[in-house]
């Protein structure tokens, strides 16, 4: 029995190994633009995916952003009020828009 305990302790010891080197975490700038409407984005969009995921497609038209918001509601049942649809679309168009409405 004692042997078993010894073996088990030895097998488990790597779990308690400590990292000696200094661990450097790379700095990644995350371009979240705070501003009017961001709280609505936080409440309606970040429940399912990250912010970075949403802005992956770069600067887009207002129609594009509205289409994405509609897609989230139709396909993924994002629960949103009509008011928030406008606020969130305006937020994305203002900060990640290309100036084109269509």
Least distance to ligand HEC, CB of residue 22, Å: 37
Nearer Cβ to ligand HEC, position 29 or 79? Answer: 79
Answer for which of 47, 74, 99, 102 binds ligand HEC (CB under 6 A) is 47
**Token digits for 37?**
């409407």
Nearer Cβ to ligand HEC, position 72 or 95? Answer: 72
The answer to whether residue 87 forms part of the interface with ligand HEC (CB under 6 A) is: no
Distance CA 7, CA 10 (A): 5
Residue among 29, 34, 39, 37 at smallest CA distance from 65: 37
What own/partner pairs with CB < 8 Å and gap ≥ 24 does 12-16 have?
A: none
Site residues (CB under 6 A) for ligand HEC?
A: 44-45, 47-49, 54, 68-69, 71-72, 76-78, 88
């Amino acid at each position: 029995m004692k042997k078993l305990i010894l073996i088990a302790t030895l097998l488990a010891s790597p779990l308690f190994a400590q990292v000696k080197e200094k661990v450097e975490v790379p700095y990644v700038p995350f371009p979240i633009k705070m501003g009017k409407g961001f709280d609505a984005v936080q409440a309606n969009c970040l429940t399912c995916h990250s912010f970075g995921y949403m802005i992956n497609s770069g600067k887009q038209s207002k129609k594009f952003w509205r289409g994405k918001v509609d897609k989230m509601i139709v396909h993924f049942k994002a629960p949103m009020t009509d008011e928030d649809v406008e606020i969130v679309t305006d937020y994305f168009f203002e900060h990640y828009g290309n100036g084109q409405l269509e």
